[in-house]
Chains A and B, each alone.
Chain A
C-alpha cells in the first residue's frame, strides 16, 4: 500500500471539512448531504486498505469523487440558503426604501445577482476555478447576511411606521367619503 495514493483524497477531505464548518455557522442542517458524502469517502478509503491493484485504485478514485462532491454540496447548500434568505428579505420590505437604512443596497443586489448567475452556470461540479469564485462570493454573502439581519430591526420600525400612515390615510379617505355621502343624502 502506498500512502501517496491518498494525498488527493486527504486534500479534498480537508477542503470539504473547511467548507462544512463555514456553512455550519449559517445552519447546521443544510450540511447533512455533504456530511453524508464524507461518510462514503470513509467507506471507500477503508475498502481500499484491504484491496490491491485495480480494485484498490478504483476505491481511491471513488473516495476522491465523493470528497469533491462533499466540498461542492456544502458550498451549494450554503449559497442557496443565503440567496433564499435574501429573496425573503427583499419581499418582507418591498413596500419601503431599503437604501435609506443600507446605503450600499444596490451593490448588495449586484453581488447577489452575480452569485446567482455563477451558481446557475455551474453545471460541471469538478470545475474547481468556478468553485473558488463561488466560495469567495459565499463568504461575501455571509457577511452581507449578517448586516441584513442587523438592519431588520430598523427596517421593521420603518415598515410599521409606513403601515400606520397608510391606515391613517385610508381612514381619512373613508371618513371623507362617508361625510360626502351623508351630505348628499341629507341634501
Chain B
C-alpha cells in the first residue's frame, strides 16, 4: 500500500509521458465512461434507480470541470 502511494507521489512530481499503448487504453476507458455519462446512459441509470438526479449532476460537473 505504502509503495503504491510513494510511486503515485513520484509519478505526480516527475510525470512520465504516456506510451501509445497507455493512450489507447485510456481512450477505451474514456469511451466506457462517456457512454455512461451521456444523457441516455444517465437516463437509464436513473430509470433503474441506481443513481439520483443529484448524483448524475455531480458526475457531470466532475467531467466538465476543466480546472
Contacts and interface: CB of A to CB of B under 8 A. Distances in A.
Given A76-B38, A87-B66, A120-B61, A81 B30 contact: yes
Among A32, A80, A163: residue with most chain B CB under 10 A: A80
Interface in A106-138: 112-113, 116, 119-120, 125
B66 A29 contact: no
Nearest to A78: B34
State the main secondary structure of chain A at its contact with B. helix
Interface stretch (A48-56, A153-161, A171-179): A153-161
A155 B16 CA distance: 11
A131 to B, nearest CB: 13
Given A33-B41, A112-B66, A116-B64, A81 B18 contact: no
A94 interface: yes
Given A84-B33, A84-B63, A69 B14 contact: no
A32 B17 contact: no
Nearest to B28: A29
Interface of B: 14-18, 26-27, 30-35, 37-41, 60-61, 63-66
